[in-house]
Amino acid sequence: MNSSGPLQKLIRELDSELHDVDSLWQIAIIAVALLAAWWLSRLARKRLDQVGPAWRLGVSGLVRIVFPVVALLIVVPGRAYLRVSHSAYLLDVAVPLLGAWLIVRLALFMLRVLFSGSWLQGFERLIVWVVWTGFALHVLGLAPAVLDFLDDTGFAVGKQHISLLLVLQALLSVAVTLLAAMWLARLIEGRVMQAESVDISLRVMIAKFVRALIVLGAILIVLPAVGIDLTLLSVFGGAVGVGLGLGLQKIASNYVSGFIILLDGSIRIGDIISVDNRQGRLVKMTARYVVVRSLDGTEAVIPNDTIITSTVLNNTYSDRRVVVPVPVQVAYHTDLRQAMELMREAAMAHDGVLRDPAPGVAVKALGENGIDLELGAWMEQPEQGPGKLRSELLFDIWQRFRQHGIEVPYPQREVRIVSGETPPARPPA
């Protein structure tokens, strides 16, 4: 270890000037700076809860740098004042450490915003401490000793010496490479999704494929960089193949089916579909599953394999117009022409019913209790569901029937009592 490093100089100065007024002043300035920074940062975090959503992102970034900024605002002027006629070596070490804290917090916050609050949000504090600790070791001159210790700590696998330093370097390289790959994939995905001239399913497929390709390329780049032979992947690939053949065929089928669905365009985001006893609007498509939101707000996560192997009713595949059947029963003595005209008028008076195709009324059956009529009304917004339109039409039809004296029958039963001779009584046993 270098005997003239910053930490050794600091220790010698503190040892020689521990009872000196200069050292006490420096310790007091650092203590006041840390206490003030802690109090103001705590106050800023409480104020953050009172900020509106529009300003929350910017204020959240300011809250993260309150501590180092306040500490620097006290330490830097104090160091300048003491340097006029006294030594300020302790403050010379504190300033770069606080500056590094400020830079690391800002950089991590910008990355978290860039990745829209991804996993960096949960590990932000840990990453800040790790990066700042590495910088502190460098400033204090302890980095060479720590690196030597990490390099000596390890084990041998054949002729390869695997040290703790090698493992940490590999993890850091993988993290940085994957972070850059995810950023690039997100950038390309955003540009692809903005191409409104391309079908939405094709855009989703391209975005997913590009993301997978970039991540795979990043892994193939970083593995040789950390000393891992790519020929070893052949063993791993064989194991994966066996796993797919034995227990992962369903998962593999879902992923393959997902790309097929995205490629053929049989269903698209926004379609109204019915599959596996679920009906609703298709709101999300991934490589493994699709999400169907029903009218009651529930969301069904349906594997892609089910979409491929089942019959899917797509109400908006080639035309968004759908017909809503409205069954009504009238009594046998009803004037059918008048009843059918009233039903047609009720449909034409509704704003949600299309005029082309025009609504129509048909006689469906001569039922047990009355004559079954059915109104067919076309609508162009199937995502709103036929239930609401059918209910409103039935209410309007019922009002019109009452005004014109048309009866909606109820179940009737005719009971006949057949009289005859009383059967002879059975002899007693």
CATH number at residue 259: 2.30.30.60
Residue 298 inside a domain? The answer is yes
Residues 78 and 196 in one domain: no
Residues 96 and 224 in one domain: no
DSSP state, residue 293: E
Residues 145 and 186 in one domain: no
Residues 78 and 168 in one domain: no
Residue 409 inside a domain? The answer is no
Domain final residue, candidates 279, 294, 318: 318
Residues 69 and 133 in one domain: yes
Domain final residue, candidates 194, 212, 228: 228
Question: How far is residue 219's CA from residue 16's CA, in Å, rounded to a whole number?
Answer: 53
Can you give the pLDDT at residue 401? 92
Average pLDDT, the chain: 75
Residues 310 and 354 in one domain: no
Query: In which band, very low, low, confident or very high, does the pLDDT at 415 lie, cut at 50, 70 and 90?
Result: confident
Residues 224 and 243 in one domain: no
Q: pLDDT per residue over 150-197, tens digit each?
A: 667 766 655 666 677 677 777 777 777 777 777 787 778 777 777 776
Residues 49 and 63: beta-carbon distance below 8 Å: no
The type of residue at 36 is: A
Residues 121 and 199 in one domain: no
Question: How far is residue 379's CA from residue 15's CA, in Å, rounded to a whole number?
Answer: 87
Residues 147 and 12 in one domain: yes
Can you give the pLDDT at residue 201? 66
CATH number at residue 355: 3.30.70.100
Residue 126 Cα distances to 122, 172, 314, 316, angstroms: 9, 14, 48, 49
Can you give the pLDDT at residue 345? 92
Q: pLDDT per residue over 290-349, tens digit each?
A: 888 887 788 888 888 888 888 888 877 777 788 889 999 999 888 999 999 999 999 999
CA 118 centroid distance within chain: 9
Sequence-distant contacts of 365-369: CB under 8 A, at least 24 apart? 367/329, 368/411, 369/329, 369/409, 369/410, 369/411, 369/412
Can you give the pLDDT at residue 103? 77
Task: Give the structural domain span for 241.
Answer: 229-318
Q: pLDDT per residue over 223-275, tens digit each?
A: 776 666 666 566 666 666 666 566 667 777 777 888 788 777 778 888 888 88
Using alpha carbons, select from 273, 429, 251, 407 the residue that is nearest to residue 328.
Answer: 407
Dihedral through CA 208, CA 209, CA 215, CA 221, nearest 10? Answer: -170
Dihedral through CA 221, CA 222, CA 227, CA 231, nearest 10? Answer: -50
Query: In the chain, how many domains are there?
Result: 4
Helices (H), 141-248: 143-152, 164-193, 200-225, 233-246
Residue 324 Cα distances to 321, 357, 388, angstroms: 10, 12, 10
Backbone angles phi, psi at 153, to 5 degrees: -90, 115
Residues 298 and 311 in one domain: yes
Q: What is the DSSP string of 295-328?
A: TTS-EEEEEHHHHHHS--EETTSS---EEEEEEE
Query: In which band, very low, low, confident or very high, does the pLDDT at 123 lie, cut at 50, 70 and 90?
Result: low
Residues 258 and 279 in one domain: yes
Residue 93 inside a domain? The answer is yes
